[in-house]
A and B are shown apart, each in its own frame.
Chain A
Amino acid sequence: MKWVPKHLDRLFEALLEHLYLVFSSVGIALVISLIVGIWAARRPRSFAAIVIFTGILFAVPSLALFALLIPIMGIGAAPAITGLAAYSLMILIRNIGMGFQAIPRDILEAADGMGYGTARRIWEVELPLAMPYIVGGLRIAMVTVIGIATVAAYINAGGLGVIIFEGIDQRFPEKIIAGGLLTSFLALFADYCFASFEKLLRRRSGGKVA
């Protein structure tokens, strides 16, 4: 432990870059998947097709996905965020769709009977009920993307992966372990936070939708 105490600012900077990658990609993915997920939830056949298609895409390894984006987008943060957003999309669309499908029919009919329009029903009734599923999806997406984002450093996107790659190039185990452990702690922390939030939401919804 000689390098870490002297380079805390460097590690902090990498951590911020990492968070930027994670939040921007998951954020973009969340907006898109709310639209697609809500649209597809009422269309079982489209939803099944989307689930199969995203499952296949999800299998593509990160390094290969980034490499496939390079001819189109070059290197840097843009292809990295696109690739990371693609992984989150697959997780989020599936979870959001499942959350909306889990809402009991009679609740929807009651809302319709009370004269709610589609937009108001989605915003005031369905979205709050589907919230635990959405947060559950965000949790998986965050943990997955935090790990994969280390590889994004290889295509010049910055983040904690930079420290690991420097460690590999310089044969410097302390850097590898510092970068790896910091990333793992970040993932475990995100997992813990979102799990607590999910539990809180489920308790609030009275276990009606779960």
Chain B
Amino acid sequence: MIVIDAFSWIFNNSGTFFNAFNRHLLMCVLSLGIAFVIAVPLGFVVARSPRASFVVVNIAGALRSIPSLAILSATMPFLGIGLLPSVIALIVLAVPPLLLNTIIGIREIDASVIDAADGMGMSAGQMLWEIELPLAVPAILSGVRTSAIQVIGGAALASFIGGGGLGDFINAGIAIMNMPRLLVGAVPIALLAIFAELAFGALERLFTQRR
């Protein structure tokens, strides 16, 4: 049974396995975090102006049409191989969904709510922290979920440009046609993505209900 073989391989090579697993997680968390810091504030700045958001939405849409494999491999000529080009590419993958969802979240806020807050004499800062940000949270979380899944899948491809991670096992498994090794990479990646989908989905529902 290849599944049992895969488990016993993990058990016997737990050091190698967890190195790759941690590397995978590190890539995902790092790029998602940096993308969040870039995209969410940018989304807030841009959403107020229709012209700026039109430009940004179209650029982000075009970026999303580039396959993740192309984005990852395109960083190689500029930055070489390893962790840095992988993380940069994953940031490029993660920014568009976050940006698009942030803009959608702010645009969907009822204009009367903003008017009311304005009428109550709230300052721009108060409005941001007390009205706009809390109301946009569910949409932003939906963007985080999409980005997280993009990034987990992209990190699997990072192995092609020497980024390491769980994709290494898939690579090795295909190279030597070793099915258990293939599963050592594929199953944890799939589980990681499913976990992200379910966890962020639950968070999203929680915040939507609170509203």
Q: Do A and B bind each other?
A: yes
Q: Mark A residues whose CB is within 8 Å of B.
A: 55-56, 59-65, 67-68, 70-71, 75, 143, 146-148, 150-151, 154-155, 161, 164-165, 167-168, 171, 173, 176-177, 179-181, 183-184, 187-188, 191
- Across chains A and B, the number of contacting residue pairs, with CB separation under 8 Å, is 121
Contact B170 A63 (CB under 8 A): yes
Query: Can you list 27 contacts pairing A with B, beta carbon distance less than 8 Å?
Result: A56-B194, A56-B197, A61-B152, A61-B190, A63-B167, A63-B186, A63-B189, A64-B190, A65-B186, A67-B183, A71-B183, A143-B65, A147-B65, A148-B67, A151-B69, A164-B70, A168-B161, A173-B74, A176-B70, A180-B69, A180-B70, A180-B74, A181-B70, A183-B67, A184-B65, A188-B62, A188-B65
When A71-B2, A168-B160 are in contact, do A64 and B67 touch as well, CB less than 8 Å?
no
Which residues of chain B (1-22) have a CB below 8 Å from chain A? 2
> Distance in Å from the Cβ of B202 to the closest Cβ of chain A?
12
Contact B189 A64 (CB under 8 A): yes
Q: Give Cα A99 to B190, complex, Å.
A: 30
Interface size on B, residues (CB 8 A): 39
Contact A64 B69 (CB under 8 A): no
> Distance in Å from the Cβ of A160 to the closest Cβ of chain B?
9
Q: Give Cα A151 to B186, complex, Å.
A: 14
B residues in contact with A147, CB < 8 Å:
65-68
Q: Give Cα A191 to B61, complex, Å.
A: 11
When A61-B193, A64-B153, A147-B65 are in contact, do A176 and B187 touch as well, CB less than 8 Å?
no
Task: Select one of B70, B185, B194 contacting A60, CB under 8 A.
Answer: B194
Task: Select one of A59, A146, A155, A176 contacting B73, CB under 8 A.
Answer: A176
When A64-B185, A68-B183, A68-B186 are in contact, do A154 and B70 touch as well, CB less than 8 Å?
no
